[in-house]
Each structure stands twice: as structure tokens, then as C-alpha cells.
A and B are shown apart, each in its own frame.
Chain A
Amino acid sequence: MRVPVKIILCLFIWAIMPAVARPDAGTNQCISCHQEIESEDGPAHVFVRDIHFQKGLGCQDCHGGNPALDDMEAVRTSTGYRGVPDRLAIPEFCARCHGDAGFMHEHNPSLPVDQLSKYKTSVHGMRLLQHKDRKVATCVSCHTSHRIADARMPYSTTYPTNLPSTCGACHSNQSYMAEYGIPTDQEAKYRESVHGKALLVKKDNSAPVCNDCHGNHGAAPPGASSLSAVCGMCHAVEAHLYDLSPHKVAFQQQGLPMCETCHSNHDIEKPSDSLIGLGANQLCANCHNPDDQNSAPRQIDSVRVYLARITAAADSAVRQVREAGVKGMMITDEEFTLKEIDQNRIQIRSSIHAFSADSLVPYVKDGMTKSMTVKTEAAALINEYYFRRWGLGISSIIITLLALALFLKIRSIGK
């Protein structure tokens, strides 16, 4: 049966001929040439992991030119070749596609298309477009040019945990930022802050990072009055109470930014109760004096006292319960109440933002009651611990005496 074999062989050769006959079809010459001349982390190498490449776009879609040509001069003189765009032109360059809703709809309908208009309102945008400042951030400064990744991917430069470094690449560089007159310690401060630790150490992706407060494309420092909207997105209770408090008007009149005045902006720390008071290092003393004629000094002192009282009560309750636990008693019920006491203290500390001592009273009363109750329960458990040992002692004595009597009896009846 040699004829069928020959036919099959011919068919086979005919089928693979297109691939063999035209070696250039399907290969992007830009990439293959540039990969040869570049280092391992050059654009042509990293581009294969870029999201544009994965969506089917090639070098030519941004840089123009004919990707089938393998001769550099031919490429440069071919129609549509754009080469590397000028830095000042990058935002418009990217917006050609990313600002075109109809176009983006075919590739990723969920992506926003307002990046350019937002960018124009940002500090970066305004300096670039109006002052022709080449040092400010453009699209590629944050997203990179050839290894752009979906922001939801952990290896993306715009993934939350990578953002501090991305922004800090410029903003932490003292010599680079020297002419702008703004601090360069934001990244360092943020990393030490409560939000930074939550994001970078505890891996809580819901913790705020640069763009949550500053915006990303429309990046600008939040204004003094808009800070409450920013912080209040998560800290809604505190912001709400503050808005109803006397501090809101007072701060506005003095041009003081809310939240930031007491809590700082980048190096936000876990607040301590010791900050409340009129003493030397205490926050309230920054504005208030002990001999002020308003109710402030009295209220500040009341709040300070309430906090001290509830802290003392809660701490001693915890100690008592822990002691019962260490002694081997079952403390699950008591631990439950301790959690409620924790919740109560959170409520008290939130209520401070109303800046009214009286509003704390119901919470403090509740907390004190709970602390008293759990302390009594823990004390009962500790008493039970000692009762058991007393019971053991008495039983042991009875047994020992009985054993002794039996021993004497044995002796008396002889062997």
C-alpha cells in the first residue's frame, strides 16, 4: 500500500508549506530584533508580559511602523512610524486609546476613560502641561512603559502594596524634589504609620494608601475642608461627630485642616489616651489653656478622667480574668464580656470626636458596669480555685487519718 502513503506525505508537506515558505509571517520583527540587542530587562523582553501585548497589541500600535520589516532604516522610514513619544506628549499619547470610550469598549469595557481629564486637574498634569515640567509624573512614570499590568495583579506597580514605592520613586528622592519645596518624607512616614503597617505588614488591602487620599490620576493633596470627606470615607462615625462638634467651625475659622491637625497626615499613629489633656505634650494644650473662660478646660479634664477610669477598670478586669485563666479555670464566658468591654472602649474613643464630655457618660457607665460584672465573675472563679484546694486538703486529711488508723489496726492484729 505505497500509493496512499505517498498521497498522505504530499498532503502533509503542502499543509506545512505556508509556515515553512514564509518565515516572517506571524513574527514581530521589532521584538525579535530588539530582544537580541537588549539586556534581559529591556523593553522587548519585558513587553511579552505586558497587558497590551497580551491583549494582542504590538510595538507598532504605539510606536507605529511595519513590524514585518527586519531592517532598521526601512522601519524608520516606513509609514506611520512614530518612534519614542516626547515626554510632554505622553498623556495625550496614551489617551488616544484610553480616552476613547468606543475603542476601550471593545477591549475592556470596565476601565474608566477619564484619566486624561483627571490628570489635567492634578498637580502633575498642571505642571506638565502649563509649565512644560519634564520632571513630573506622566502615565509611564507610575504604570511603566513596557511592563504595564492590571492594577489588581500583585506584581503591578499600581497594586496597593507597591504604590508607596511607585510614588516614592520621585517623592522620596530629595535631590530630585529639591526645587519643589515639599517634604520628601511621606513614604517613610507612611510606612511607619498605622495605615502603612496595616497594608504592608498585616496585608490588609483595605487600608488606605497614597491614591485613596490623594486620588491617582487627579493626584493632589486634599484641601483643608475636603479632608473630612477623605478620612470620613472609613472613619465615618468620627467625621460625623466632628461635623456636629464646636471644633468644626473653630478649625475652619483658623484655617486648620480637620483630622490632620491632631492626627497628622502621613505618619498617623494609633492614638493614645494620654494625648487628651492640658499638660505639656498633650494635644488639647496646643489651643486650649487651663484658665480659658469657656467650658473647654472642664470638659477636657472630665474626658481625661473618664478615660483614665475606664482604662483602669478594664485593665484590672483583664488582669483578674487572666489570673483565673492561668489558674486553670474556664473563662470563655468572661472572655466574651471582655470583648464587649473592648468594643465599649472603641465607642468611647470614637465619641471623643464630639468634643463633649457629657456624651461619653453613658458609654463610660456601660463599660464600668461590664468591668465590675466580669471582675466579680473572675473573682468567683478564683475563689472556686482555692475552694477546690481546701476541699482537697480536708479530704486528704480524712483519708490520711483513716489510713493511719488502719495501719495501726494492722499492727495491732499482728501478722
Chain B
Amino acid sequence: MKPRTPSANERPAEPEYQGKQNDISRRTFLDRFMVVGSLGLLAAVLYPVYRFLVPPKSVEANVSQVKLPFGRKEIDADPHKAKTFRFGKQLGIILLAPTGELRAFSAACTHLDCIVQYRLDMGLLWCACHNGRYDLTGKNIAGPPPRPLEKFVVNEEGADIFVSKGNV
């Protein structure tokens, strides 16, 4: 068998050709790096978008009307026949009046901001801090409170209770 001798165009790379090869490989590396980098950027952008589009647990944002997390049954079952609830930045109190009507007020006493309670034995709203008293329309009738309690509007739809601000 004849030994194979390398032909002209199979000659091993010459230095000048070698440089060009390096150039090409560097360029390819750069291109690959850019592709990877772009994919990384895309991921860094799309991940927050992906998370953003999934709504959080509390889907609604509304605070000028609030749907209470409990119904009339729960209020009736409560020994004090009243429950507090959150209304935006305020605390509210909803009570079951002797007439069977549901009434809701701001729970912050107008004197020094303590939280009022519904006293069944007194038939009125009472503030423990300085013995302030409000009747069941929210009017301040005894003690230090200078103003009535803010009254909220209560709407019942089926088993749900909706509380909203009075007209502003």
C-alpha cells in the first residue's frame, strides 16, 4: 500500500491561518455568550412578569366597600352580639341591635381613639378607657367623647354582609 502523503490543501494550519481560526472561534464564543446573556436577560424580565400576572390571594382591592368575612349567623352566635372588622385603615364594629337590625360604626372612640365595645347589659356602645357612652345610632350620650361615632352603611345580600362608608 502506498503511504499517504498530505496534499496541499490538507497541509496543517499555518500560523496566519491559525490566527484567523482564533478570530473565528473568539467571534463564535462572543456570539454564543451574547445568546446566553440575552436568554438570561429574557428570563430575568419574564420571571417577574410571570409572577405579576398571577393574582394574589386577596383578589379584590376595594376599600370603600368591604365584604365581611363572616355573616349574620356568626354575629348572632357571638356572646357580645358584635364583631370587629377591618375597613381600610380603620377598625369597625358591627352589632346586632335588639330590633334585629345590623348596625356598623367606626370602632375608634372619638375621645382618645380607644376601641369601643357593644354592651348588651347597657344597650349601648361603651368605651372602657374613660367610660364614654354612645347610643345605638352612634351618638355620644355620656362621658368625654366629643363627637358621635362615624356610622357605616350595612347591606345584606343573601348570606353576605357588605359595609360601606356613609355618603362622603
Given contacts A206-B144, A332-B89, contact A402 B131 (CB under 8 A): no
Q: Are A409 and B34 in contact (CB under 8 A)?
A: yes
Q: How near does chain A come to B95, taking the closest CB pair, in angstroms?
A: 18
Check: A359 CB closer than 8 A to any chain B CB. Answer: no
Given contacts A398-B40, A398-B44, A402-B41, contact A412 B114 (CB under 8 A): no
Q: How near does chain B come to A194, taking the closest CB pair, in angstroms?
A: 12
Query: Which residues of the other chain, B, contact A332 by a CB distance below 8 angstroms?
Result: 89
Would you list which residues of chain A between 7 and 37 have a CB under 8 Å from chain B?
none
Query: Which residues of the other chain, B, contact A409 by a CB distance below 8 angstroms?
Result: 30-31, 34
Query: Which residues of the other chain, B, contact A204 by a CB distance below 8 angstroms?
Result: 111, 144
The dominant DSSP class at the A interface is helix
> Which residue on A lies nearest to B111, using beta carbons?
A206
Which range contains the number of B residues in contact with the other chain? 20 to 34
Q: Are A398 and B37 in contact (CB under 8 A)?
A: yes
Check: A234 CB closer than 8 A to any chain B CB. Answer: yes
Query: Which residues of the other chain, A, contact B26 by a CB distance below 8 angstroms?
Result: 412
Q: Tell me the bound Cα distance from A168 to B111 in angstroms.
A: 28
Q: Are B33 and A206 in contact (CB under 8 A)?
A: no
Q: Tell me the bound Cα distance from A236 to B144 in angstroms.
A: 12
Check: A51 CB closer than 8 A to any chain B CB. Answer: no
Given contacts A237-B128, A402-B34, contact A412 B27 (CB under 8 A): yes
Query: Which residues of the other chain, A, contact B31 by a CB distance below 8 angstroms?
Result: 409
Q: How near does chain A come to B62, taking the closest CB pair, in angstroms?
A: 15
Q: Contacting A336 at CB < 8 Å: which of B40, B44, B86?
A: B86
Check: B155 CB closer than 8 A to any chain A CB. Answer: no
Q: How near does chain A come to B109, taking the closest CB pair, in angstroms?
A: 11
Given contacts A206-B146, A343-B114, A343-B115, contact A412 B44 (CB under 8 A): no
Q: Are A234 and B89 in contact (CB under 8 A)?
A: no
Q: Are A346 and B129 in contact (CB under 8 A)?
A: yes
Q: How near does chain A come to B112, taking the closest CB pair, in angstroms?
A: 8
Q: Are A406 and B34 in contact (CB under 8 A)?
A: yes
Q: How near does chain B come to A165, taking the closest CB pair, in angstroms?
A: 22
Check: A244 CB closer than 8 A to any chain B CB. Answer: no
Q: Are B41 and A399 in contact (CB under 8 A)?
A: yes
Q: How near does chain A come to B11, taking the closest CB pair, in angstroms?
A: 28
Q: Contacting A235 at CB < 8 Å: which of B27, B34, B37, B130?
A: B130
Q: Tell me the bound Cα distance from A251 to B104 in angstroms.
A: 43
Can you list 28 A-B pairs with a CB-CB distance of less than 8 A?
A: A205-B146, A206-B130, A206-B143, A206-B145, A206-B146, A234-B130, A234-B143, A234-B144, A235-B130, A237-B128, A237-B129, A237-B131, A332-B89, A336-B91, A343-B115, A346-B114, A346-B129, A350-B128, A394-B44, A395-B41, A395-B44, A398-B37, A402-B38, A402-B40, A405-B34, A409-B30, A409-B34, A412-B26
